[in-house]
Amino acid sequence: MQTYKYRAIAKDGTTVNGVIEAYDEFEAVNEIRKTYAIVDSIKPVRKERRVNIDINEPLWVSNKTLSLTANQFAIMLKAGLTMTRTIELIADQSDDKLMRRILRACAGDVAAGYSLAGSLRKNGKKVPAVFIETVAAGEESGTLEESFKSLEAYYSRAHKTQKKVKSALTYPTIVLLLAIVVIGIVMVVLVPRMTETLQGIGTELPLVTRILIAISTFFKNWWYLVLIGLAALILGLFLFGRTERGRMVYSKIRIRMPVLGKITRFNAAAQTANTLATLLAAGLPVTRALDIVSRVLDTRCVGKELNESIVKLESGMSLGESLKESLYLPPMLIEMITVGESSGMLEDTLRSIGLFYSEEAIAASDKALSLIEPMITIILGVVVGFIVIAIYVPIFTMSTGIAGSY
């Protein structure tokens, strides 16, 4: 709710100043006119901005929280609770501080007579568009309970997939970070000490040893520049990735990479099919559903193709025909969409093909992740072997020379 400061004129001609809370300016004016004849001026009261950081509040609403919230909505609405009471109960029970804050803000708006979807658009900036639009479609069609069931299934699958990938990446990531730290210590601390000994031999050092000493000296003298350069590079890539052009460039790179490209393509196909099925089940027309999917897809180049297909749909083409020229979506997905349209079972077909590509993406991810450990082992072996050879070759040469002199 927004607070407004107003100046009004009463029936007896006196000027009255006051404040009122309302959803928007139109509602505020209507409420004031119930008491005073003329509204002379009205303006929103700017709330004082305070930096209030809660380290326990997440930066975004997780798939797990969205799945649990949708499930709770479906159960409570089926039990016959009012929307306002349902929102209040879910907010009180939520362990997610961000979702709790969003729902508590929504409860007041809904109690004032506004829709849940409209309130989520206003207060839930960090809630995905798929969630909000599916709720809006459910409210418009009178199938809100079914919409929440679809959302629960959709976000539950997304959470399980995300959890599996994170779990598989944890061990290789820890090993790689530890290896980088250990090699860094060796290059900055151990190698310089060995260098003094090696240079004291008095003979020309092998090329491999000279290379190691040069690398070690560079990192020892300029380590802060290396860190600043890496930080600047990472920040620059991150900021570029936040732009629309950056998202497009990164998505095209990912989808064309040898191993990651296959996983990205399968994930894009699964997300497209699952999201479309959820939105169509909620009662949205195909064009509106496709517009939402094009905006929420992680792979922006696929999203752009979907957005371009909307014009073809509006010109009379079927969904399958409008996607025929897609460069990034798997041909089988497009063929199954065409079959689903012709048989009148598009939603069921999308769910089936979405589940298929979700499983394919997980299988491809497992296969790629299984190769990470041996690759890390090989890389570490090469690096450690290089350091050992560079240190021991001159020592071995010196020992051989001493033995030969006798």
pLDDT at 336 over 50: yes
Token pair 């305070």 in the structure block, residue: 50
pLDDT digits (tens, 9 = 90+) for 111-160: 878 889 888 988 888 888 888 888 888 887 788 888 898 888 888 888 88
- Helix (H) / strand (E) element for 3: namely strand 2-9
Provide, for the chain, the percentages of residues in helix, strand and coil under a 3-state DSSP scheme, each rounded to the nearest 5.
Answer: 75, 5, 20
**Per-residue pLDDT at 195 exceeds 90:** no
pLDDT at 84 over 60: yes
Q: 138 versus 168: which is more confidently predicted?
A: 138
Please tell me the predicted confidence (pLDDT) of residue 202: 62
pLDDT score of 316 more than 50: yes
Q: Which of 195-204, 255-264, 374-383 has the lowest mean pLDDT?
A: 195-204
Separation of alpha carbons 305 and 311, rounded Å: 11
Average pLDDT over residues 259-269: 86
Q: What is the pLDDT of residues 16-28, one digit of tens each?
A: 787 887 767 777 7
Question: What is the Cβ-side half-sphere exposure of residue 346, based on CA atoms within 13 angstroms?
Answer: 19
Residue 143, pLDDT score: 82
In whole angstroms, give the CA distance from residue 369 to residue 71.
32
Stretch 321-325: mean pLDDT: 89
d(CA 304, CA 116): 29
On the question of pLDDT at 57 being above 80, the answer is no
The pLDDT-based confidence of 228 (bands split at 50, 70, 90) is very high
Of 324, 359, 334, which Cα lies nearest the Cα of 272? 334
User: Which helix (H) or strand (E) segment is 21 a member of?
Assistant: strand 15-22
What is the C-alpha R_g of the chain?
31
369 burial level (CB within 10 Å; 0-12, 13-18, 19+): middle
- Look at 198 and 182; give whichever has higher pLDDT: 182
DSSP 8-state code for residue 45: P
Question: In the predicted model, is pLDDT for residue 274 greater than 60?
Answer: yes
Residues 6+ apart with CB under 8 A from 299: 251, 254, 255, 264, 267, 268, 271, 328
The string of DSSP letters for 257-291 reads: STTHHHHHHHHHHHHHHHHHHHHHHTT--HHHHHH
- Phi-psi category of residue 316: left, alpha or beta, with phi > 0 → left and psi -120 to 50 → alpha: left
Is 354's pLDDT higher than 70? yes
